[in-house]
């Protein structure tokens, strides 16, 4: 893991719990310890890619435009979080300890008693139940219906959520769910839904009420100061936040964070290099290319450092629920074979990335035992392309066809790469370039034939169902399909009792998704590069998935 200016000390039980344990109880600390004394106060000014979408509702979008800001407002986790010293382990957050039944179907959490909503209301087990009820079951008021969270199936098939005595919350699943904690620790699953403010509005028929509608009252280290759409999100230190460092000092250290809304990455570059920003935005086009990073280094020298994380897979995904040639798996397979994947790194990914036949990014310490897709299609490009032409002819499309492609305005380089690549297969990829509002609507709809993007799903395979599963349960999934075999494969994955079984079943899932059916074409893994001023201290940089540790509670400014 890459950690810049910070070290952490955590006491925990291994994430790989022996199956022979009948009941395991976890009690952790997640204490920040610094080699030098942090200097409190100051304003940290960073860019944000755009206005947070979906009313700041973490149940509706995984967009980094929300979660870069959401960490400060809503916290780095939910009941649990990814540990700051090791994102692959689980630490407590709003729960202090937990236990599970012998069959891993029943999970019970003890809710901490020193967490407060930003309006001073104490966080309770009833609040946690309200959140999980919305996640798993949605809500109904008269004829109005609120859908469950997009990630509900990823967390498991819940049967009930109950409040018990002693500030306890019990979640019961219909099936074994041994890796629930690691899935739950996904930082996208933020509790941003105050029961005391939302429940009355839901009861009154406003089932679509969002965190923005109730004033962005969160549980994180910073509370809302001001939100000016298209301009600024300002958050200010919350004095009743519960986390403390190793010296007993209450976090966060900063007085304020200003997130400056900057949809144009080149405007961000100018603002950073001229001294108006302390840090860059996260996500897609705002991540630095090699050329832009060289310019930062040339202008700023040792006044800047670069956080590097494995940033997720650049992929092409098909909507097989729309009529068209792409419903034929031979056509999808031909497209997957045809694309020159290494060529995407300099032209589409800004010079930072890796792909077949490599397994992992090399200079970033990311576990590789669940990375399987680079093992497919390792033949020479011309061999693959000859097979692609044969499959297209066999399917009756030797002369090609036209296919629509949902494209974000901030992702034109990757879209143009795909268009140029598929032209060689006589496929006219019609780029339907949209703004962020239409992207967030369109990507969960069936209005487009295909789409692409970059997203780092859960680092454990059991936590990827929301991005690879059936459209019926996962409208935010990459591909749009209704393949019930995927349900069964994920069920088997959750039922696995050893690491060897998990790896083998995940290979089957990967082969089915990416090779046999080719619902998704993995092209290359990106590496995200984000600039910060050298006086920014205490920043925790995850080895992958830059949605992680966006609370900035440990950041301080040495100036």
- Residue 140 is part of a domain; what is its CATH number? 3.40.190.10
518 and 546 share one domain: no
Question: What's the number of domains the chain is made of?
Answer: 2
Are the C-beta atoms of residues 183 and 460 closer than 8 Å to each other? yes
> What are the tens digits of pLDDT across the range 530-551?
999 999 999 999 999 999 999 9
Are the C-beta atoms of residues 320 and 480 closer than 8 Å to each other? yes
In a domain, 194, yes or no: yes
| Phi, psi torsion values for 77, nearest 5 degrees | -155, -150
In a domain, 258, yes or no: yes
Predicted local confidence at residue 369, as pLDDT? 83
Structure tokens at 65: 């435009």
Are the C-beta atoms of residues 91 and 73 closer than 8 Å to each other? no
3-class DSSP state for residue 511? helix
314: which strand partners? 454, 524
Predicted local confidence at residue 27, as pLDDT? 37
Structure tokens at 522: 């993995």
Predicted local confidence at residue 284, as pLDDT? 80
Block means of pLDDT (10 residues each) for the chain, length 559 residues? 29 32 36 64 97 95 94 98 95 98 98 98 98 97 94 94 98 96 96 98 97 98 98 98 94 98 96 97 92 96 96 93 97 98 94 90 85 88 98 98 93 93 98 89 93 78 89 88 96 91 94 96 95 97 95 97
99 and 243 share one domain: yes
In a domain, 46, yes or no: yes
**Radius of gyration of the chain, Cα coordinates, nearest whole angstrom:** 23
pTM, two decimal places: 0.89
252 and 319 share one domain: no
Token look-up 């209704």 returns 482
Cα 352 from Cα 505, distance rounded (Å): 30
478 and 546 share one domain: no
Structure tokens at 550: 């966006």
Are the C-beta atoms of residues 86 and 198 closer than 8 Å to each other? no
Cα 457 from Cα 506, distance rounded (Å): 14
376 and 424 share one domain: yes
542 and 520 share one domain: no
Predicted local confidence at residue 411, as pLDDT? 82
Predicted local confidence at residue 17, as pLDDT? 33
Token look-up 């006219």 returns 428
Predicted local confidence at residue 36, as pLDDT? 58
132 and 272 share one domain: yes
Predicted local confidence at residue 283, as pLDDT? 87
Structure tokens at 30: 């997640």
In a domain, 289, yes or no: no
| Residues shown for the chain | 559
Continuous H helices in 310-462: 329-338, 344-348, 381-394, 412-423, 436-442
171 and 101 share one domain: yes
In a domain, 160, yes or no: yes
Cα 370 from Cα 464, distance rounded (Å): 12
Instruction: Give Cβ neighbours of residue 427 (< 8 Å, ≥ 6 apart).
Output: 335, 400, 401, 402, 403
DSSP line for 52-84: -SGGG-TTT---HHHHHHHHHHH-S-SSEEE-S
Structure tokens at 96: 């202090």
Predicted local confidence at residue 212, as pLDDT? 98
> What are the tens digits of pLDDT across the range 179-226?
999 999 999 999 999 999 999 999 999 999 999 999 999 999 999 999
Predicted local confidence at residue 479, as pLDDT? 94
Structure tokens at 90: 């689980």
Predicted local confidence at residue 361, as pLDDT? 86
Containing structural domain, residue 82:
7-278+535-557
543 and 494 share one domain: no
392 and 472 share one domain: yes
Predicted local confidence at residue 476, as pLDDT? 82
475 and 508 share one domain: yes
* Cβ neighbour number for residue 400 with a 10 Å cutoff: 15
234 and 316 share one domain: no
- Which CATH number goes with the domain that contains 449? 3.10.105.10
Instruction: Give Cβ neighbours of residue 165 (< 8 Å, ≥ 6 apart).
Output: none
In a domain, 371, yes or no: yes
- The CA-atom distances, in angstroms, between 225 and each of 237, 240, 242, 256, 302 are 9, 15, 19, 9, 33
Q: Measured between alpha carbons, how far apart are the two ends of the chain, in Å?
A: 26
């Amino acid at each position: 893991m890459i950690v810049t200016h910070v070290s952490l000390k955590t006491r925990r039980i291994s994430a790989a719990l022996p199956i022979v344990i009948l009941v395991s109880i976890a009690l952790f600390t997640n204490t920040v310890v610094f080699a030098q004394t942090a200097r409190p106060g100051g304003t940290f000014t960073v860019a944000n890619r755009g206005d947070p979408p979906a009313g700041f509702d973490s149940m509706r979008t995984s967009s980094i435009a929300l979660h870069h800001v959401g960490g400060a407002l809503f916290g780095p986790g939910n009941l649990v979080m990814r540990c700051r010293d090791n994102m692959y382990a689980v630490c407590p957050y709003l729960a202090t300890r937990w236990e599970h039944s012998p069959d891993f179907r029943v999970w019970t959490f003890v809710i901490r008693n020193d967490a407060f909503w930003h309006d001073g209301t104490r966080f309770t087990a009833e609040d946690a139940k309200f959140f999980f009820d919305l996640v798993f079951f949605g809500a109904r008021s008269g004829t109005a219906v609120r859908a469950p969270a997009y990630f509900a199936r990823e967390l498991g098939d819940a049967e009930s959520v109950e409040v018990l005595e002693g500030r306890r919350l019990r979640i019961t699943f219909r099936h074994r769910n041994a890796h629930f904690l690691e899935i739950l620790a996904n930082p996208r699953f933020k509790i941003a839904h105050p029961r005391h403010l939302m429940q009355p509005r839901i009861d009154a028929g406003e089932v679509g009420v969002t965190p923005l509608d109730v004033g962005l009252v969160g549980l994180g280290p910073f509370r809302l100061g001001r939100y000016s759409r298209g301009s600024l999100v300002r958050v200010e230190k919350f004095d009743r936040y519960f986390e403390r460092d190793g010296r007993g000092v209450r976090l966060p250290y900063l007085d304020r964070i200003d997130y400056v809304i900057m949809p144009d990455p080149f405007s961000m570059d100018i603002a950073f290099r001229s001294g108006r920003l302390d840090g860059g935005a996260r996500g897609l086009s705002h991540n630095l290319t090699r050329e832009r990073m060289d310019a930062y280094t040339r202008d700023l020298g040792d006044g800047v450092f670069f956080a590097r994380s494995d940033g997720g897979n650049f992929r092409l995904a098909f909507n097989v629920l729309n009529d068209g040639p792409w419903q034929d798996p031979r056509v999808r397979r031909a497209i997957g074979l045809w694309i020159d994947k290494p060529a995407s790194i300099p032209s589409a990914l800004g010079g930072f990335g890796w792909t077949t036949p490599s397994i992992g990014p090399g200079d970033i310490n990311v576990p590789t035992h669940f990375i399987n897709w680079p093992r497919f299609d390792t033949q020479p490009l011309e061999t693959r392309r000859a097979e692609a032409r044969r499959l297209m002819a066999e399917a009756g499309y030797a002369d090609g066809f036209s296919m629509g492609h949902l494209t974000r305005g901030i992702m034109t380089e990757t879209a143009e790469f795909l268009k140029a690549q598929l032209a060689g297969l006589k496929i006219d990829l019609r780029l339907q370039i949209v703004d962020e509002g239409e992207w967030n609507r369109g990507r969960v709809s069936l209005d487009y034939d295909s789409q692409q993007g970059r997203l780092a799903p859960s680092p454990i395979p059991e936590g990827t169902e929301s991005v690879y599963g059936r459209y019926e349960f996962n409208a935010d999934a990459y591909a749009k399909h209704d393949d019930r075999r995927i349900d069964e494969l994920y069920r088997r994955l959750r039922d696995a009792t050893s690491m060897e079984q998990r790896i083998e079943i995940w290979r089957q899932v990967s082969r089915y998704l990416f090779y046999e059916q080719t619902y998704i074409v993995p092209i290359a893994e990106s590496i995200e590069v984000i600039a910060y001023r050298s006086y920014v201290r205490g920043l925790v940089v995850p080895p992958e998935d830059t949605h992680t540790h966006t609370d900035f509670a440990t950041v301080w400014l040495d100036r």
